[in-house]
A = this chain, B = another copy of it.
């Protein structure tokens, strides 16, 4: 009755690597009162996890060395001590962790709650992607902080990524013109297929600031920033008056996670444009999850949003999946199928 687990071996300084985690075999756990046991079927890797393995303080408690790596997953219920859950149900939770079997407590509040997956709406792994935290991030970040108006120009960095692809499509539904920034022509071709009006390859553009200016002749009204760093600076130089900037992630700076982020301060541009910049942590918005996911499910059913997954097979490849996502080598939402 073994349970393979990836535990944190060290807090990385700079980039994480395969040695950051160690695969161990533990005893398969037993659910207590009010708990369920699941067999993990899918695991999600997400950029926020870089913060959870940092030794420095962040917005949530980090993983300690020797602990099972935190992470969302989907699994089939194999034992239940909870009246609302029966064997064979499909459960999704942020609290699964990188392990083959997990005990979950369905009645925990907020982001720790366990959600029942309805395979009639979408394949189960969608609950780790556009029909889960990822979708909520895009929906709230764009609509509540970015607040696009019809006719606005919305720029999305990491445009083909799990969040970026949704932001672009929701912005189109809101009547905006959408410009995507990513690091490969293949990714950008797909962005155009799903409705982006213009795209910029930051790796081949001679001057990103000029490229953004050319793609956004009336300036940038909303910037949904998943990358930080030089792309952030280049977009900020193109802000329109009264622009809104959503700081969702800074994956371009992942290798320097624990260092200070030195670059162009925004103050001058903010005064000239009277723009607003706000940081987003999706866990603040869990009370809006049901509303957002119902909307996303309807849009998906109607064909208004499409999504791309990038799946690695095998539990032993979870760290590899995380590292390729952090390096931008994935194309669409990075998942692992066990």
Residues of A within 8 A of B (CB): 57-59, 225, 228-229, 232, 241, 247-250, 253, 260-281, 284
In the assembled complex, the Cα of A269 lies from the Cα of B280 at a distance in Å of: 11
Q: Which residues from chain B contact A253 at a C-beta distance below 8 Å?
A: 267-268
- How many copies the complex holds: the figure is 2
B268/A250 in contact, CB under 8 A: yes
B58/A267 in contact, CB under 8 A: no
Q: Which residues from chain B contact A270 at a C-beta distance below 8 Å?
A: 247, 277-279
B272/A279 in contact, CB under 8 A: yes
Known contacts A250-B268, A266-B277; 7 further A-B pairs (Cβ under 8 A): A58-B272, A229-B265, A253-B267, A261-B267, A269-B279, A271-B281, A276-B279
B280/A277 in contact, CB under 8 A: no
Q: Which residues from chain B contact A262 at a C-beta distance below 8 Å?
A: 262-265
Interface of A is mostly: mixed
Kindly identify which residue among B260, B268, B276, B279 contacts A274, using a CB–CB cutoff of 8 Å.
B279
B272/A59 in contact, CB under 8 A: yes
Known A-B contacts A274-B280, A277-B276; the reply to A267 vs B59 at CB < 8 A is no
State the Cβ distance, A281 to closest chain B Cβ, in Å. Answer: 5
A275/B272 in contact, CB under 8 A: no
State the Cβ distance, A290 to closest chain B Cβ, in Å. Answer: 21
A274/B265 in contact, CB under 8 A: no
In the assembled complex, the Cα of A202 lies from the Cα of B84 at a distance in Å of: 59
B278/A277 in contact, CB under 8 A: yes
In the assembled complex, the Cα of A59 lies from the Cα of B267 at a distance in Å of: 14
Kindly identify which residue among B228, B268, B273, B281 contacts A267, using a CB–CB cutoff of 8 Å.
B228
Can you show 18 pairs from A to B with CB atoms below 8 A apart? Answer: A59-B241, A59-B271, A59-B272, A59-B274, A225-B267, A228-B268, A232-B265, A232-B267, A247-B270, A250-B267, A253-B268, A261-B264, A263-B265, A267-B279, A274-B278, A274-B279, A276-B276, A277-B278
In the assembled complex, the Cα of A228 lies from the Cα of B261 at a distance in Å of: 17
State the Cβ distance, A20 to closest chain B Cβ, in Å. Answer: 20
State the Cβ distance, A224 to closest chain B Cβ, in Å. Answer: 13
In the assembled complex, the Cα of A10 lies from the Cα of B207 at a distance in Å of: 32
Known A-B contacts A276-B277, A276-B278; the reply to A264 vs B271 at CB < 8 A is no
Q: Which residues from chain B contact A284 at a C-beta distance below 8 Å?
A: 274
Q: Which residues from chain B contact A248 at a C-beta distance below 8 Å?
A: 271
Q: Which residues from chain B contact A271 at a C-beta distance below 8 Å?
A: 59, 247-250, 279-281
B264/A265 in contact, CB under 8 A: yes
